[in-house]
Amino acid sequence: MTAATTHALPLPGTYNVRDAGGYRTADGGTVRRGLLIRADGLAGLDDAGRAQLAELGIATVIDLREDAEVEVAPDALGDLPVTYRHLPAFAGMAAEERPRSLEDAYNLMVDECGDALAGVIAALAEPGALPAVVHCTAGKDRTGVVIALVHSLLGVDAADLEEDYAATARNLSTGFADKIRATMPQGEHTDAMLTEMLACPPELIRATLARIGNVEDYLTRHGLPADAAARLRATLIER
């Protein structure tokens, strides 16, 4: 069984939702299930999907998308009693700096968006913030980096962290891929472009974390409050 099957949370109107919990940590604990959910966009939620989020007791939804993405496809949260936080992962980046490739995107997040990433982790560590959903459009790159940072802070084994990250490629390979394909110009390179767009190679998140170095030091340098990592560990790890 893989992370794609053991952590999946089928949610009507979505393609890539799963529990970031259930993994063992270096100190012998386990990441609690039901407190941190990673997801793709929530614009397609219907009443059944909203009811499921309510049953999960979600307190916070953190949206990592940029303003234009939110305007086109706002989260369909309805009257759910949640705190919605719009915290763009690429906040503050100039238009001319927009990434041209997956590798560029991850490098830019590390090099130019540390304050934004630290802000997301700080928001998750706030009292009462959990259970939380963290999402972008596909739940792949921006969400993938944020969840990898949390898993690193918690001491999740590198192999499990990479498997959790890579599971997205399988989750997006059917319905989500069809939706994106319908919006792309059709041609001989369409499938190759789509494959590259939806790729989640483990070596990419491995290289990203290597570029960061010590995750807690990196986030602290970018404004993470001194006690935030400890609070996340206390809340998210069961022993």
pLDDT tens digits, 208-239: 999 999 999 999 999 999 999 999 999 999 98
* DSSP E strand boundaries for the chain: 18-19, 30-31, 36-39, 60-63, 83-86, 132-135, 237-238
**How far is the C-alpha of 54 from the C-alpha of 67, rounded, in Å?**
26
pLDDT at 187: 61
**How far is the C-alpha of 190 from the C-alpha of 221, rounded, in Å?**
41
- Does residue 73 register a pLDDT over 50? yes
Domain 3-238 grouped into CATH 3.90.190.10: yes
pLDDT at 76: 98
172 falls in which pLDDT band (50, 70, 90)? confident
Token look-up 């599971």 returns: 167
pLDDT at 116: 97
Q: Pick the closest to residue 150 from 169, 170, 129 (CA basis).
A: 129
pLDDT in tens, 4-61: 456 899 899 999 999 999 999 999 999 999 999 999 999 999 999 999 999 999 999 9
- Does residue 194 register a pLDDT over 90? no
97 falls in which pLDDT band (50, 70, 90)? low
Q: Average pLDDT of the chain?
A: 91
**How far is the C-alpha of 234 from the C-alpha of 31, rounded, in Å?**
10
| Section 170-190 average pLDDT | 72
Length, in residues, of the chain: 239
